[in-house]
Amino acid sequence: MGNTESEWKEQLKNFSDVKIKLNDEVSIESKDLFQVLRVKEIMKAFGRGFDFDTALSLLDEDCFLDVLEIKDFSGKSIKRQLVLKGRVIGTKGKMKKIIEKYCDVKIAIYGKTISIIGKWDRVRLAKKAIEMLLHGAMHITVYRFLEKQKR
């Protein structure tokens, strides 16, 4: 199930050449700046609600994380933010699963953000579909858009 702090720090060290210190702040050290940036992205993904294995996929240089702020589409209204999150999730998670399947990405909806992990072009496609929903497009319209992109 869930990894303890020491387990995930050890797993992360096995995948990269970094030193991680956790106190009130996170300190990441490495000779390779790219490794530091990747580890920061992994920790950001983990903090956005992705499971550890999905977050670790960011060690692959072809994988990227994109985070959408729901308030950019809803304004400050908490009620509107909940409605928009619900639109992206769909009934029983169906819309979220469709986007993940068609785009071959992982999506985490957590707090006031919607995050996407996957290959760059696939993340871009998923982001477009999510933005369509956040702007009020009907679910069937987004589904047809994804079908068209699949061909």
Task: Provide the pLDDT for residue 15.
Answer: 57
Q: Strands 106-110 and 63-69: what pairing?
A: unpaired
Report the percent of the chain where pLDDT is more than 90: 60
Each residue of 101-112: pLDDT tens digit? 999 999 999 999
Domain ranges, ordered by start, for the chain: 5-59, 63-150
Q: Tens digit of pLDDT for each residue in 1-14?
A: 455 556 666 666 66
How would CATH label the architecture of 63-150?
2-Layer Sandwich (3.30)
Q: What pLDDT, on the 0 to 100 scale, is given for residue 17? A: 63
Model confidence, pTM: 0.81
Q: Is 80 exceeded by the pLDDT of residue 147?
A: yes
- Cα of first residue to Cα of last residue in the chain, in angstroms, is 38
